[in-house]
């Protein structure tokens, strides 16, 4: 059984896929004419029409460049839908700063309810300086954290692979990053981001001095469930390697983490298992990234390491992510980059991480790898033709803005459909 079917059975509906040649098959049967001289029947024709799949997706554009990249992504999905006989019901709702402005809450009840009714959640990005002075529980990022918690999305998958066309965009030497294909599995609903107690308080009898504190906490069950996802994922990959990253020489949470993951490794003898301290892992990611296959780590370490790993690909604008649970609630798909307020509204953003997040949605939640493959091929073809957004621009290439690169991807998607029919 595949990784997706094994770990997230309820997350993957079994949709029927039809080729273009099968879409409108007609079986024509002419009824014989009546022998009665006074009446003649018209020929009867029976048509069998291929079933059209319909999917309901919660769409959360968020803040900053979010609406721009989401518009491009939805148009790509619509175009792919026309090609593969898929109809979409996109249900849009505010989150983050946009939700604060509209409803006074970074995750309104209506938004959460809409997400729970959907098959998947497609999110762009949240945050911006406009809301920086709000309390931690009222900031835009709090809405995203609550959404992950409410939907029980405990496993965050962050693929990092290099496009051969973008080797020059990486600050690392091309020989180091060529061929990199790793995935970071980050625990998403525990650790210091959610641990209690937390706060900033005045020290009693401290002459007005304050202290800040957070709680780093993991339960065995939280470690076990995300570790299982990582091991099952490693089993589906050619190299079958898993490296667990922690700080077990200092932190009790990491000591428990290492103990539980090492114990589970015994149940996966076909997976080459290792553990690594997080400071060493940060160095190894830039020294020799090709040594990694599946990297399993906690919430805070995964947040930091995945941003570092983005430089392997050349830009945060090329990295998608999937936040998955056990199938009880819909999964969340989002690019790993932020809201980029410095270029918001200027049509300069790179939409490809958001589009690639949608391809993860097609694979993991909708069981449509055919559509995901077609979109990824279109992106590859656009890069082959030398089109670039500013974040991945290099000498001799053609600079595109957000909507222009989107149009090129749409053209490539349509052209590949035409060549497929031909």
Tens of pLDDT along the chain (422 residues) come to 333 433 433 333 434 443 323 322 222 222 233 333 333 444 444 444 457 799 999 999 999 999 999 999 999 999 999 999 999 999 999 999 999 999 999 999 999 999 999 999 999 999 999 999 999 889 999 999 999 999 999 999 999 999 999 998 889 999 999 999 999 999 999 999 989 999 999 998 878 899 999 999 999 999 999 999 999 999 999 999 999 999 999 999 999 999 999 999 999 999 999 999 999 999 999 999 999 999 999 999 999 999 899 889 888 899 999 999 999 999 999 999 999 999 999 999 999 999 999 999 999 999 999 999 999 999 999 999 999 999 999 999 999 999 999 999 999 999 876 656 55
In contact, 172 and 312? CB cutoff 8 Å: yes
The predicted pLDDT at position 38 comes to: 39
112 forms bridges with which residues in the sheet? none
Any catalytic annotation for residue 168?
no
Any catalytic annotation for residue 277?
no
Output the furthest CA–CA distance in the chain (Å, rounded): 111
CB-based contacts of 81, cutoff 8 Å, min separation 6? 87, 88, 371
- pTM, to two decimals: 0.82
Q: What angle, 0 to 180 degrees and rounded to 10, lies between the N-to-C axes of helices 278-287 and 299-313?
A: 10
Among candidate residues 181, 307, 326, 407, the one labeled active-site is 307
Any catalytic annotation for residue 303?
yes
Instruction: State how far the Cα of 107 lies from the Cα of 138, in Å rounded to an integer.
Output: 9
At CA 99, angle to CA 97 and CA 101, rounded to 5? 70
Any catalytic annotation for residue 373?
no
The predicted pLDDT at position 351 comes to: 98
CATH of domain 53-159+320-422: 3.40.718.10
Half-sphere exposure of 190 (CA within 13 A, CB side): 20
Among candidate residues 224, 279, 342, 373, the one labeled active-site is 279
Burial class (CB in 10 A: 0-12, 13-18, 19+), 419: exposed
Q: Please give the structure tokens belonging to residue 31.
A: 């009824």
DSSP 48: E
Any catalytic annotation for residue 279?
yes
Among candidate residues 85, 218, 247, 364, the one labeled active-site is 247
Nearest to 95 by CA among 66, 56, 136: 66
In contact, 348 and 306? CB cutoff 8 Å: no
Q: What is the dihedral of CA 370, 371, 374, 375, to 10 degrees?
A: -150
The predicted pLDDT at position 50 comes to: 54
Q: Coil, strand, or helix at residue 262?
A: helix
Nearest to 89 by CA among 99, 74, 109, 76: 74
Among candidate residues 85, 191, 193, 397, the one labeled active-site is 193
Instruction: State how far the Cα of 414 lies from the Cα of 410, in Å rounded to an integer.
Output: 6
Among candidate residues 303, 333, 397, 408, the one labeled active-site is 303
């Amino acid at each position: 059984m595949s990784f997706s079917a094994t770990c997230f059975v309820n997350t993957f509906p079994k949709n029927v896929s039809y080729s273009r040649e099968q879409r409108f098959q007609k079986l024509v049967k002419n009824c014989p004419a009546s022998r009665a001289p006074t009446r003649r029947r018209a020929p009867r024709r029976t048509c069998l029409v291929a079933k059209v799949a319909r999917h309901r997706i919660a769409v959360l554009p968020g803040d900053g460049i979010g609406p721009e990249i989401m518009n491009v992504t939805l148009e790509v999905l619509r175009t792919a839908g026309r090609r593969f006989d898929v109809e979409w019901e996109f249900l849009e709702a505010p989150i983050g700063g946009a939700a604060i402005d509209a409803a006074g809450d970074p995750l309104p009840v209506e938004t959460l309810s809409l997400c729970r009714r959907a098959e998947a959640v497609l999110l762009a990005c949240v945050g911006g300086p406009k809301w920086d002075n709000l309390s931690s529980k009222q900031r835009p990022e709090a809405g995203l954290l609550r959404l992950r918690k409410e939907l029980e999305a405990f496993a965050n998958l962050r693929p990092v692979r290099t496009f051969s066309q973008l080797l020059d965009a990486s600050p690392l030497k091309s020989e180091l990053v060529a061929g990199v294909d790793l995935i970071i599995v980050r625990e998403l609903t525990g650790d210091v981001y959610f641990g209690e107690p937390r706060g900033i308080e005045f020290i009693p009898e401290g002459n007005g001095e304050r202290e800040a504190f957070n709680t780093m906490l993991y339960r065995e069950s939280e470690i076990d469930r995300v570790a299982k996802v990582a091991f099952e994922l490693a089993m589906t990959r050619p190299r079958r390697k898993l490296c667990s990253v922690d700080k077990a020489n200092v932190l009790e949470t990491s000591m428990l983490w290492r103990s539980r993951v090492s114990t589970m490794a015994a149940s996966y003898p076909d997976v080459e298992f290792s553990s690594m301290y997080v400071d060493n892992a940060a160095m190894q990611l830039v020294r020799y990234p090709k040594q990694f296959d599946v990297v399993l780590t906690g919430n805070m370490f995964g947040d930091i390491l995945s941003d570092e790993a983005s430089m392997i690909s050349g830009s945060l604008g090329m990295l998608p992510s999937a936040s998955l649970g056990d199938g009880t609630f819909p999964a969340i798909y989002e690019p790993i980059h932020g809201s980029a307020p410095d270029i918001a509204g200027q049509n300069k953003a790179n939409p490809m991480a958001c589009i690639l997040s949608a391809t993860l949605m097609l694979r993991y939640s909708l069981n449509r790898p055919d559509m995901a493959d077609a979109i990824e091929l279109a992106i590859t073809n656009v890069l082959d033709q030398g089109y670039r957004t500013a974040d991945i621009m290099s000498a001799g290439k053609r600079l595109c803005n957000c909507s222009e690169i989107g149009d090129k991807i749409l053209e490539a998607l349509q052209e590949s459909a035409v060549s497929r029919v031909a």
